[in-house]
Amino acid sequence: MAIAQMAAPAEPGPAVAGQPLPKAGPSPQFPRLLPGDGHPDALVPAVAWTQQEIEAAQARCKVLLKGLDVVAVPEAPLREGAECGAPAPMKLISLGKNPQVAFSPPPTITCDMVATLAKWLQHDVQPLARQHLGAPIARIETMSSYSCRNAYGRAHGKVSEHGKADAIDIGSFVTARGQAALVIADWGPTARQIAAEAAAAQKAAKAAEGKAPLQPGVSATAKDPAPPRKTAVAKAPPPAAATMTPLDLRPGVVIGVPGIALEMPDRTQGSAPSFGLAPPSRLGGPKPPPATVAAPVDPDRKTDFLRAAHRSACKLFNTVLGPEANNWHRNHFHLDMAERIKNTKICE
């Protein structure tokens, strides 16, 4: 485990009345607006982590990450408002070795998330990638990690697990051969898409049935269709008897064919017959060398990989949301370690 030296935690100062919020980047030194906690217009002072909480979280990190192939940078404690933040967050650079899986951009998450991601990659993602994609994963494209906000970015409601540095959003997996499996492009149609298309097709079929024209010879009022009328067809006169003239196939005789003149070969010299046509010529040059570029992965194999990786994540993470969950997650996997009553899990 490669971990940079722990930065000294920044001590948050007292909140100042009327002090404007910073324009960019979280800061434990400023209060946080949390519209969802019943005070839409009030500034909620940041609650600092105690030194005991910070030291306990750092000690837990050492236990969780011991023996793992992790490259991470410890960050200063995060605290925003009454609920957001983490006492010992990590900026995750990479996991594993041979290959080393890079995270781009590096997410800021808790050590519990780092340890669970490492286990998922080693025991599930990499074997599945070799099976379906023909190569191990070398890079994971992330879309979001720590962000102090409510769930789904709503103005009201509970704080998202992203606000606790306890969640990560993954958009794609890139193999060591440079081929990517994108959630938005390679997951395939969702169950709700299939249902919507089936409903639309059924509706279109009913509309077309109502507008279908009557068949020729079918009475709109009679139950039995009227028989079609027979019309006399004039027969063409028989063709005149053709006269065939035997062809003279003697050597050296020219055969007259409209537009073409063929000369019978003289076989007395022992030459092969060619009927006056030149021998065929071989076109093209030498065959190109075989391609050395790896063949693209079948889209169905990418779909199989993404769906299998999603199912395997449900065994380790407490929440796994993907394209089947809702349109909010159509383009990524959301993974978190949310604590719930009776250790219930969500897998969608």
User: Which pLDDT tens digits describe the chain residue by residue (348 residues)?
Assistant: 665 434 333 333 333 333 333 333 333 333 344 444 443 334 556 679 999 999 999 999 999 999 999 999 999 999 998 899 999 999 999 999 999 999 999 999 999 999 999 999 999 999 999 999 999 999 999 999 999 998 877 777 789 999 999 999 999 999 999 999 999 999 999 999 999 999 999 888 888 887 766 566 554 444 555 555 555 555 555 555 544 445 454 555 444 545 544 444 454 455 444 444 445 444 555 565 555 456 688 889 999 999 999 999 999 999 999 999 999 999 999 999 998 887 789 999
Q: How far apart are CA 138 and CA 98, in angstroms?
A: 9
Q: What pTM, to 2 d.p., does this model score?
A: 0.65
Contacts of residue 21, Cβ cutoff 8 Å, sequence gap at least 6: 30, 31, 32, 33
Q: Is the distance from CB of 125 to CB of 312 less than 8 angstroms?
A: yes
Task: Give the DSSP per-residue string, 299-337.
Answer: HHHHHHHHHHHHHHHTTT-SEEE-TTT-GGGTT-EEEE-
Does the domain formed by 90-188+298-347 have CATH 3.40.50?
no
263: number of Cβ within 10 Å: 14
